[in-house]
Amino acid sequence: MGHYARFSRRLVAVHECPVHDSRGNAVAFALRDACQWADTQDVKGIVVRAGVSRPETLATLVVASDQDKRVRAASRRALAGTAAPTSLHVNIHPRGDAFIFGKETRHIAGPERLREDIADASFLISPTSFFQTNVRAATILVQQVLAAIPSGATVLDLYAGAGLFALPLALAGRTVVAIEENHSAVADGQASLRLSRVPVERCRFIAKPVELAVGRGRAVALQDFGAVVLDPPREGCQPSVIERVFGAHGPAKAVYVSCDPESLARDLAHITSSGYRIESMQPVDMFPHTPHIETVVLLSRL
């Protein structure tokens, strides 16, 4: 196991990841050792999430096939060891693409989801759902978004994931509609709503791509919202999304959370030319000693 060499898919072996939680390192390399002991060739990767608010670790073995009994032997050995994860899953990923996970995930042991607490909200996170890796930095992002959205506002949360912003906003008195296309993340968000005891009228999820939710025949009417939160993937927003969200019926306030400065600069040029001004920009260092920066941008309609 290791890191890819820069600008390549060549693997450079390492004995730890210095950015990772030490518990995550221990679990990952113990699983690696168990797989080597079992002599399985089907393991493609190991994914570990280490809880911050709770002492939990969630591990997933990504395998090319579920037919190799040696994977089961490796799992049993890892679960019996001193660095056993709190919960273990196996994901079957037979394709040779660049995606981390395949479509099928099997629960092996422990809780099905990892629990994390942020800003008075409790989140339940499945092994293949996206959730900010650095929870302490994610807490700063949530605080920034909460401070930017007016009290009592009706909020449209786009690219909502498992509800990182939607749940704290709802608990703080806003009414939120969260749009997310990943059904696993939506299921996590809905489970987290129940766990956090968010009133049903305060927050609801819509499992739909953002482009469809705000496009023609849309699931939501933009004029119904006083604020919008956008947390798109690294490539930023589709031009059609920006045109629709920041068009004639755009909200008075918007918060754009970006994980890529280049796509952010491109999208902000489009947004500001649509009649919005930048009120503030706050970068957050997600992983010190790496180039990964999140930026929270507050925008207001002119």
Q: What is the DSSP string of 213-252?
A: HSSTT-SS-GGG-SEEEE---TT---HHHHHHHTSTT--S
CATH hierarchy code of domain 129-301: 3.40.50.150
Share of the chain above pLDDT 70, in %: 99
Helix runs in the chain, H state only: 22-38, 69-80, 135-148, 166-171, 183-195, 210-213, 239-245, 261-272
The SS3 of residue 117 is strand
Ramachandran region, residue 290 (left: φ > 0; alpha: ψ -120 to 50; beta: rest):
beta
How many angstroms separate the CA atoms of 194 and 167, rounded?
Answer: 10
pTM comes to 0.91
pLDDT tens string 148-164: 999 999 999 999 999 99
Decide if pLDDT at 47 tops 90: yes
Would you state the pLDDT for residue 219? 74
Amino acid letter for position 141: L
The domain ranges of the chain are 2-112, 129-301
Mean predicted lDDT score pLDDT of the chain: 93
Q: What is the mean pLDDT of residues 107-113?
A: 96
Q: Which residue has the higher pLDDT, 63 or 292?
A: 63
How many angstroms separate the CA atoms of 226 and 9, rounded?
Answer: 45
- 6 is written with which tokens? 């820069």
Q: Which of 177, 180, 257, 189 is nearest to 224 (CA)?
A: 177
Q: What is the assigned CATH class of domain 2-112?
A: mainly beta
Q: Which residues are catalytic?
A: 259
- Least confident range of 116-125, 166-175, 286-295: 286-295
The phi, psi pair for 19, rounded to 5°, reads: -85, -20
Decide if pLDDT at 218 tops 80: no
Would you state the pLDDT for residue 96? 83
Would you state the pLDDT for residue 282? 97
Residues 6+ apart with CB under 8 A from 53: 115, 116, 117, 118, 135
Decide if pLDDT at 295 tops 80: yes
Q: Say yes or no: do domains 2-112 and 129-301 share a fold.
A: no
Would you state the pLDDT for residue 146? 96
pLDDT tier, 292 (very low <50, low <70, confident <90, very high otherwise)? confident
Give the bridge partners for 2, in sequence order: 13
